[in-house]
Chain A
Amino acid sequence: MIKRLASGLLLAALALPACAAFDVGQLMDDLARHKGGKAKFVEKKYISLLDKPVISTGELTYTAPAFLEKRTLTPKVETLRLEKDLLSIEREKQKISINLASQPEALAFIDSIRGTLTGNRAALEKNYLLSLAGNPEKWVLTLLPSDQKISALVLRITVSGSKNQIRSIEYLQADGDRAVMSIEPLEAK
């Protein structure tokens, strides 16, 4: 009995990779095929200091491979733009530009989003351990920082989606606070 159970388990274990042909490589290929588009987002930040989450909403625009714009409309208008390695933030007539090449930690952080969007596995694996669960219709990709400097900021990044469309990103910060961004595609290019 025990032997049958064991062999059954063994069979199941062996069979699992076979039926779930969906792996990180395939997801990356799917994501890489996504050439860009527009989406609405709602971001909720759960901060221990505050009694209720801070909610912001706005639009995301992505054009493969190097242009990403996050336009926050509420509570304050703010535009974050990423072009190659140049990150600029515009808020209240002020514009800050940061060259990410000079900020390795910020670059690693940005690469978690950019790498997922572009399906760039090498860029992701440079700083994170990847694990994938689910199927192409509903998948969850978990990124665990491999560098201590990054894990001092972010403990875990969870990206979930369907096919080649990202539907939510969750950041769990080292202090226990977390941010969840839900993404609703507006149109597909």
Chain B
Amino acid sequence: MSQAGRAFLLWLLAMLAGAAIVWNSRFTADMSFFLPSHPSAEQQVLVDQLKEGVVSRLLMVAIAGGDETQRAALSRELRGRLGKMPEFVSVQNGESDSQAADRDFLFRHRYLLSPAVTPERFTVDGLEKSISDSVDRLASPLGMLLKPLLPRDPTGEMLELLRGLNAGAQPDSKAGVWASHDGERAMLLIQTAALGSDTDGQENAIKLIRAQFADTAQGQGIANASLQLSGPGLFAVNSRATIKDEVSRLSTISTLAIVAVLFFVYRSLRLLGLGMLPVVSGALAGVVAVSLAYGTVFGITVGFGAALIGEAVDYSIYYFVQSGRNGLTDWKQRFWPTIRLGVLTSTAGFGALLFSGFPGLAQLGLYSLAGVATAALVTRFVLPQLGQANGQTRDLTPFGRRALHGMQTLRHLRWPVLALALAATATLFAEREHLWNPELAALSPVSPADQAVDMALRADIGAPDARYLVVIDAADRESALRQAEATGHRLDALVASGQLGGYDSPSRFLPSQASQDARRASLPTAEQLRPRLLAALVDSPLAAGKLDAFLSDVEQARSAGNIERASLNGTSLALAVDSLLLPHGAGWSVLLPLRAGEQPIDPSAIRSALAGNDALFIDMKAEFDKLYNDYLHEAMLLSLAGLGAIVVLLAATLRSPRRLGAVLLPLVLAVLLVIAGLHLLGERLHLMHLIGMLLIVAVGSNYALFFDRASDEHRLDPETLASMLLANLTTAIGFGTLALSQVPVLHAVGVTVGPGAILALLLAAIFAPRASAA
């Protein structure tokens, strides 16, 4: 077998192995792109909530069209249909029957649930006090609601239970079901069985809701009925669709444009095919490397492929154009070392990202690094075995000559460019406070329209925003619940002093076994209770004889078993407990969401109230902001480190401060001009623009190096310059395509590196040492 055949076979085998790995890779387009790979304890809570938390499984639904009664009928039937499906854990629309089960449960178990149940409450004095309070309450406007309960619950335990619940948070109601504030839409709150991180499950659930709604609306003959839906699940599904769509769209645009350019130059399908070989290999190697290193490949990473195509095709352009005139050996000796150095600086830039704690960034780094290195290696070691241009390509010499001539003219721009760069620096310095977008949301692929719908639905339905949480970890369920009760006591003090509006706790509906035992032990026997009751009611308008139901209820509570998790089945309280009490690794976690009262929550007051307890207080918004700031800070360090590595690499190879300066100057100027330009165009900079700056240096250094080599040789051939222009064009196409993306991560890199690459070449030409023009 010939050497060429062997090389091709080896390459083919490697590609097949790579394809097999890619085939078995897991691709995802979920939030984990943005979630920290090494989270702190607080961030871990954030991550868990986003992936598995109840809030992440809530979908808000609004029904519009028809009249009030028709919307209510739609809402009822939709609830009836969805409620039976295993895909949904709960479907709430405010119908009263759903609340009856909860009320029954609370009333039936009131003596084990009420925190007011103590031995003192059932002494003569305790009974006298609690019963006279209950009688007084009958005078209240709410007395009418309490009166039916009095014979069975004279001590008012039910009221104790309801006291801690958030009564004010119910949505409005029209025709017996929840409605928006303006009354024009019926509202439902649906919890999916699928986790928030299960995008397939969420997509399926959303499809089911839409299909069932369409069917219901048709069945009831309401033609103008429409359904609006929002929630984290929809965001995930839409983001994935956007990313999927963009990956194919951007790659297609980038590939077509580059293929057109190459075909124009190569004028041969064979050369075109060979020229794309390093690109395909690089793209495949990138996905394989990411898949092997991280297990999961993010959609956004694959979307970055559009840029990689533009960058990776450069090497084969250099190879074909430069070796076409001067032969392979000459190319290997004269040009390959320069290209190699360019590849090394590029990999140094991408490699810096590998150390990021922001998983998306680390993947982009690895993907690009593996892709660029593979493309270069395939160009160097596989392409020469397979063929050369042999003079088929379009003669670029005249074009190169004209470009060389243009370069002479461009030189006059040296001073104006320096002045412009100075102005850019001044602008950036003056505006330094307004350059950056300080929120993680800047990176989120959720469209502003989707966010607006979400805000509107959230306001109408009063969905929990769960900004403040207290989190407790414990070894088992019982100790988790005990700690929840202990922490609850501390929080009660804040509620009493008005610093806190209230809080939710799983122990409200599922107290620890210890508390239940203690409460049961507080209950007297019927023989003990009867005489005490008589004594307590001597002066009361309530005759003890009317409280037989109370005596028998207490007796029943004494003999009934404890409340278990299963006792809650069939009520919406089960959901409340499951969302606040979670098995977690080897142990259990308890979440206590806090509600603000009249005054906003003061985190330091909560922290000091919890001091000495294992409970962790978390402000979700602050954590998000901190997370993003950490990423940004880290990205700055990594960019500087990447830049440092590139400088060291160049310094070690060039061994001349003057040459190093000549290579770096155009790159620094390009970065300055691009950033100032973006700012003036109104683009708020975020983390990915910063990464873009690093990439301008990593990618742009290739051009500056060619000019450096030319000045070293005291000549710059027209073909070399033409190949650089061509490579620059494909790179600009690749990154420029990303600028079309609606995904902020890709868009930012595109708008930064696309123009940056062109500027880097132009500036390198402008500032190229005069000797090179010989």
Contact = CB atoms under 8 A, between A and B. Distances in A.
A75 B147 contact: no
Nearest to B547: A49
Contacts of A56: 139-140
A49 B139 contact: no
Contact of A177 (B136, B139, B147): B147
A18 interface: no
A15 B543 CA distance: 54
Interface string A79-94: 0100000000101011
Interface in A130-155: 153
Nearest to B168: A97
Given A45-B143, A94-B163, A52 B541 contact: yes
A102 B170 contact: yes
Nearest to A76: B136
A49 B152 CA distance: 12
B546 interface: yes
Interface string B151-193: 1000000000001000110111110000100010000000000
Given A49-B546, A103-B173, A173-B144, A96 B168 contact: yes
Contact of A76 (B139, B150, B170, B173): B139
A39 B151 CA distance: 34
B541 A54 contact: yes
A69 to B, nearest CB: 12
A184 B137 CA distance: 23
B168 A55 contact: no
25 contacts: A45-B139, A47-B138, A49-B151, A49-B546, A50-B135, A50-B138, A50-B542, A51-B541, A51-B542, A51-B543, A53-B541, A54-B138, A54-B139, A54-B541, A55-B139, A72-B139, A72-B140, A93-B496, A98-B168, A99-B172, A101-B172, A102-B174, A102-B179, A104-B173, A153-B144
B41 to A, nearest CB: 35
A75 B136 contact: yes
B147 A89 contact: no
A18 B624 CA distance: 78
Interface residues of A, number: 32
Given A49-B546, A99-B172, A54 B135 contact: yes
Interface residues of B, number: 28
A89 B141 contact: yes
Interface of A: 43, 45, 47, 49-56, 70, 72, 75-76, 78, 80, 89, 91, 93-94, 96-99, 101-104, 153, 173, 177
A102 B170 CA distance: 9
A49 B542 contact: yes
Contacts of B140: 56, 72, 76, 78, 89, 91
Chain B interface, DSSP helix/strand/loop, else mixed: mixed
A83 to B, nearest CB: 15
B98 to A, nearest CB: 15
Given A47-B138, A50-B135, A75-B136, A102 B172 contact: yes
B142 interface: yes
Closest CB pairs A-B (n = 8): A56-B139, A102-B173, A50-B541, A102-B172, A52-B541, A75-B136, A54-B139, A51-B541
Contacts of B139: 43, 45, 54-56, 72, 75-76
Contacts of A70: 141
A153 B143 CA distance: 13
Contacts of B168: 96-98
Given A47-B138, A54-B139, 13 more contacts: A45-B143, A47-B147, A50-B138, A51-B542, A54-B135, A70-B141, A75-B136, A76-B139, A89-B141, A89-B142, A102-B170, A102-B173, A102-B179
Contacts of A89: 140-142
A49 B146 CA distance: 12
A87 to B, nearest CB: 9
Contacts of B174: 102
Contacts of A99: 172
A91 B135 CA distance: 15
A130 B151 CA distance: 35
B287 to A, nearest CB: 54
Contacts of B172: 99, 101-102
A94 B498 CA distance: 10
Interface string B318-356: 000000000000000000000000000000000000000
Contacts of A104: 173
A177 B143 CA distance: 12
Contacts of B138: 45, 47, 50, 54
A75 B147 CA distance: 17
A49 B150 contact: yes
Contacts of A50: 135, 138, 541-542
A101 B170 CA distance: 12
Contacts of A72: 139-140
Contacts of A153: 144
A56 B141 CA distance: 11
Which of B139, B140, B183 counts the most chain A CB atoms within 10 A? B139
Which of A49, A80, A89 counts the most chain B CB atoms within 10 A? A49
B225 to A, nearest CB: 22
A43 B136 CA distance: 13
Nearest to A87: B141
Which of B144, B150, B170, B174 counts the most chain A CB atoms within 10 A? B144
Contact of A96 (B136, B167, B183, B543): B167
Nearest to B543: A51
B3 to A, nearest CB: 82
Contacts of A98: 168
Contacts of A55: 139
Nearest to B151: A49
Contacts of A78: 140
Contacts of A52: 541
Nearest to B541: A50
Contacts of B171: 102
A143 B444 CA distance: 59
A92 to B, nearest CB: 9
A70 B139 CA distance: 12
A104 B543 CA distance: 35
A142 B580 CA distance: 51
Nearest to B170: A102
B209 to A, nearest CB: 24
A91 B137 CA distance: 10
Which of A47, A53, A70, A177 counts the most chain B CB atoms within 10 A? A47
A101 B181 CA distance: 9
A101 B141 CA distance: 18
Contacts of B179: 102
Nearest to B150: A49
A42 B2 CA distance: 112
A94 to B, nearest CB: 7
Contacts of B135: 50, 54
A80 B142 CA distance: 10
Interface in B173-225: 173-174, 179, 183
Nearest to B542: A50
B648 to A, nearest CB: 66
A126 to B, nearest CB: 16
Contacts of B142: 89
A179 B65 CA distance: 44
B356 to A, nearest CB: 48
A104 B139 CA distance: 23
Given A72-B140, A76-B139, A78-B140, A49 B147 contact: yes
Contacts of B183: 101
Nearest to A57: B139
Which of A75, A91, A104 counts the most chain B CB atoms within 10 A? A75
Which of A50, A51, A89, A103 counts the most chain B CB atoms within 10 A? A50
Nearest to A99: B172
A80 B150 contact: no
B540 to A, nearest CB: 8
A55 B163 CA distance: 25
Contacts of A97: 168
Contacts of B136: 54, 75-76
